[in-house]
Amino acid sequence: MTTHVLILCTHNSARSILAESMLNHLAKRMGQDVCAHSAGSAPSGRVNPIALDVLRDAGVDTSNLRSKSWDEFAGSEAPPVSIVITVCDSAAAEVCPVFIGPAARPPLKIHWGYPDPSNTLGDDGAKRSAFEVTRQAIAAQMQRLLTLPLASMSRAELAAALVEIGR
């Protein structure tokens, strides 16, 4: 059974897009039945072009990426999301979206914050470097998530493992 993971950030243009892409890319490479989605509480309507560049440079398919609203994941037609990961940076006083999800099947919720590479000052090289560092940090956590025996873990075991990955 596929494990669906929803990754949220406010604008769904950089960090959540990087996380969705890396989780799907790594799951496919590792033969894991995991499907990542991303969304925002106030989507920008566009994916940051530097995010797309660093993903493509890492060999990740970006053809289906788009900035979208979390409303797509709240209805009865939405995939059965098991895990919701917020990726905003609470250290920078960003307001992270709070996804309730369907009452019949509430997902586990976890926060793995990353600084927003879109806010990096400097030239294109500095910005690109910030996106690549963020992509690599996200990839490391997603790889750890994919090593978990998701199908056989209890909800409490999974919640504890997700907290540990986020440390």
Residue bearing the bigger pLDDT, 94 or 145:
145
Cβ atoms of residues 48 and 65 within 8 Å: no
Residue bearing the bigger pLDDT, 89 or 60:
60
Set 6, 52, 60, 88: catalytic member:
88
Set 7, 9, 50, 51: catalytic member:
9
- Residue 93 has what pLDDT? 44
83 Cα distance to chain centroid: 10
Q: What is the mean pLDDT of the chain?
A: 90
| Topology adopted by domain 3-161 | Rossmann fold (3.40.50)
Per-residue pLDDT averaged across 13-18, rounded?
97
- Residue 102 has what pLDDT? 54
SS3 at position 37:
strand
Is 90 exceeded by the pLDDT of residue 118? yes
Active site residue 9: yes
The tokens describing 56, both together, are: 């493509």
Query: What is the spatial distance between Cα 75 and Cα 14, in angstroms, rounded to a whole number?
Result: 24
- Residue 75 has what pLDDT? 80
At residue 85, what are phi and psi to the nearest 5 degrees? -120, 125
Active site residue 35: no
Per-residue pLDDT averaged across 53-81, rounded?
93
Burial (CB count <10 Å: 0-12, 13-18, 19+), residue 73: buried
Set 58, 74, 78, 96: catalytic member:
96
Active site residue 88: yes
The tokens describing 27, both together, are: 């799951």
CA angle 82, 4, 55 (to 5 degrees): 130
Query: What is the spatial distance between Cα 124 and Cα 111, in angstroms, rounded to a whole number?
Result: 29
Query: What is the spatial distance between Cα 19 and Cα 133, in angstroms, rounded to a whole number?
Result: 13
- Residue 94 has what pLDDT? 46
Number of H helices, E strands in the chain: 4, 4
Is 50 exceeded by the pLDDT of residue 92? no
